[in-house]
A and B are shown apart, each in its own frame.
Chain A
């Protein structure tokens, strides 16, 4: 089944990544339409996180192209990929634990902060205005997830439970107003109820931000069924199936590879 790609925000074409002799990603092709939530599935080691890392420039792909909003972003540095409008979270939480919630979210806002030394050190009045603006933005964003958390912005992240950390991580990715959000297993290490809450948050965020597309790596089938518009299944670095949840769930190869059916 082919989908129209005219409104595609992200087009990955024949993307490959090899580490020495190991092919982690093998001619992987997928596209994401504007406003869609796409689930990326596959057993452990099937290349899901590798595809995120290759897209965001953590390491350069071995082959293939990545186009974002029509522009070729293949092999760009992480900084440039971020500047283009792609933000992500990480499988293993990568927050700065000793820093405050506000600090962590502002790291995500780096692209819009004034970084000049003179401005930061000497023009303290102007800095204060920028700080207050940042505070209002961060607070408004955190409030969409949790009002209680929005009143604790100057507490260290290290003291928070996992679900709050995940929320902060998503806020850090969203504050830069990206057009594409990559969520790498946001439910890892959380209980069933926490996962449900977080997915509600994600759906809510998608509803609020016009045109935001999301790719989410997730293992739990119930979650995938509930929140995704499209799914892509990987196995041994290769795409084995794509389509809406009902389609991939019924696919015999997916069942063999992923659901563990004989």
Chain B
């Protein structure tokens, strides 16, 4: 939102002030997510999709989106708190169900990874078609380290990110030296190489893959079902909570990065590297920074994903999966963290729920991405002009 909110009357929707509208949207969105994850019958799924489309259109026509945006900038603390509470509520409602929790955690981890790609692609303009490879590096790091070393798994989670960043340095020289399509081709080559390397490498299990030991924090084993109030919960509850923590952390990180001089520098490098250089911006430094930060996030998400599914194989980290991650960034809107969150939910949950499209998911997402690029190139939730401090207003 621009600064003219300081003089304009505060926007309302149906007579409700921005904060009330914002909280209402969070409650409705949480309820919707719960219903959607819960839905079994195809008819219900289709009805829910129609409801979402209708809500988006009506919300746009009646100005609810602008009031919501005001709430997000003027009441950022309350809104962020409400969103986290909504997420925890949805997790709590599924506390005993394996499958919805697995799906939800997958969404959160893909969202974390896509936020990493968003830093590379959306901000610094470096397309990375090897997202799944870096995700896989995190997962394989977790596999080797949880089974071969006595390191605490929480540390291994971080090391998964570090390892992805280190291997990323191998790629960074050709990626930084080339531009545009050439850099993209380098990452495609790496993505294909990575899978082949895993398949022929017996130490890493070859095509059969590897077992991954569970996440444990201070004796709390994530693969054991927690018993709360005498009820046995799904063990995925552990992973959902940690996945939520990781996704929130990644989100806050991305947000703060964007709302800083570093984010500005990355944007400048993406939009015009010649002009950037003339104003003292180190192009290589900025690109290496973005690539590394992004890979750390992708690798950490991959490590936790590996621990959660407890068995990984090369086929889990193919070029198609990399495309899926890029599709999430494009669908949500380049540089838009909220868009990434929404798109991750759509891309992961939709094919699981709508069995008709399961076979054709890659086809469908390809068509969707092309349609987005043609008709709505800024994505589902387009990025807005940078507001360094949410709710900040100039002193008159």
Q: Which B residues are in CB contact (< 8 Å) with A143?
A: none
User: Known: A107-B264, A120-B261. Contact between A153 and B278, CB under 8 A?
Assistant: no
Can you name the residue of chain A whose Cβ is closest to the Cβ of B385? A100
A216 to chain B, nearest CB (A): 17
User: Known: A99-B385, A121-B257. Contact between A110 and B267, CB under 8 A?
Assistant: no
Total count of chain B residues near the partner, CB < 8 A: 31
User: Known: A120-B256, A120-B260. Contact between A90 and B275, CB under 8 A?
Assistant: yes
- Contact partner of A120 among B257, B267, B275, CB < 8 A? B257
The count of A-to-B residue pairs whose CB atoms sit within 8 angstroms is: 107
B331 to chain A, nearest CB (A): 19
Bound together, the chains give a CA A151 to CA B396 distance in angstroms of 10
A130 to chain B, nearest CB (A): 8
Can you name the residue of chain B whose Cβ is closest to the Cβ of A52? B278
Asked whether A96 lies within 8 Å of B385 as measured between CB atoms, the reply is: no
In the complex, identify which listed stretch (B92-100, B144-152, B279-287, B341-349) lies at the interface while the others stay far away.
B279-287
User: Which B254-289 residues sit within 8 Å CB-CB of chain A?
Assistant: 256-257, 260-262, 264-265, 267-268, 271-272, 274-282, 289
User: Which B287-311 residues sit within 8 Å CB-CB of chain A?
Assistant: 289
CB pairs A–B below 8 angstroms (24 shown): A58-B274, A58-B278, A78-B277, A79-B277, A81-B278, A82-B280, A83-B280, A87-B278, A87-B279, A96-B268, A99-B271, A103-B385, A107-B281, A110-B279, A115-B261, A115-B265, A121-B256, A121-B260, A127-B261, A131-B388, A131-B389, A135-B394, A139-B394, A152-B2
Sample of 18 further A-B pairs with CB below 8 A, known A99-B264, A100-B386, A131-B389: A56-B278, A78-B277, A79-B277, A79-B281, A87-B279, A96-B268, A100-B385, A103-B385, A107-B281, A108-B279, A114-B261, A120-B256, A130-B261, A135-B394, A151-B3, A152-B3, A155-B2, A176-B279
- Residue positions of A touching B, CB distance < 8 A: 56-58, 77-79, 81-83, 87-88, 90, 94-100, 103, 106-108, 110-111, 113-115, 117, 120-121, 124, 127-128, 130-131, 135, 139, 151-156, 172, 176
